[in-house]
């Protein structure tokens, strides 16, 4: 095996990708344009999007927990890192869902 095969290759976009994934204030494409909207349909749309994303991320975390024991001990730190990243992402998605739920409640006159 050559040294090129055994050493990870740097990808200049990796740092930006990780930074974006972990940004606690990151919005989805198109979301910013609806932040000031007074239309309940806009808030409902973003609430629905975030419900789907939160459910998906929670499913990934559940699957990770079910599969973690199948990975050799040497691979466990990698899975712990994955879990931490996914938990942070799930937290961001949940905060955005909460925002859009409050916004929808405000726009429709529902008490939260």
* Residue count of the chain: 112
Question: 10 pLDDT exceeds 80?
Answer: no
Q: How far apart are CA 97 and CA 77, in angstroms?
A: 30
Q: How far apart are CA 73 and CA 69, in angstroms?
A: 9
Question: 111 pLDDT exceeds 60?
Answer: yes
Q: How far apart are CA 58 and CA 90, in angstroms?
A: 7
User: Which among 53, 44, 46, 47 is positioned nearest to 93, based on CA atoms?
Assistant: 53
User: Which among 45, 54, 52, 49 is positioned nearest to 104, based on CA atoms?
Assistant: 45
Tokens of 7: 């050493």
Question: 1 pLDDT exceeds 60?
Answer: no
- C-alpha separations of 23 from 4, 8, 66, 71, 73 in Å: 32, 25, 27, 29, 30
Q: How confident is the model over 94-104, as pLDDT tens digits? A: 999 999 999 99
Of residues 44 and 5, more confidently modeled: 44
């Amino acid at each position: 095996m050559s040294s090129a095969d055994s050493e990870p290759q740097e990808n200049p976009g990796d740092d930006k990708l990780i930074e974006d994934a972990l940004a606690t204030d990151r919005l989805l494409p198109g979301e910013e344009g609806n932040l000031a909207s007074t239309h309940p349909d806009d808030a409902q749309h973003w609430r629905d999007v975030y419900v789907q994303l939160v459910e998906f991320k929670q499913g990934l975390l559940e699957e990770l927990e079910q599969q973690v024991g199948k990975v050799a001990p040497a691979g466990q730190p990698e899975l712990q890192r994955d879990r931490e990243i996914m938990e942070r992402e799930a937290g961001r998605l949940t905060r955005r869902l909460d925002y859009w739920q409050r916004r929808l409640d405000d726009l429709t006159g529902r008490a939260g």
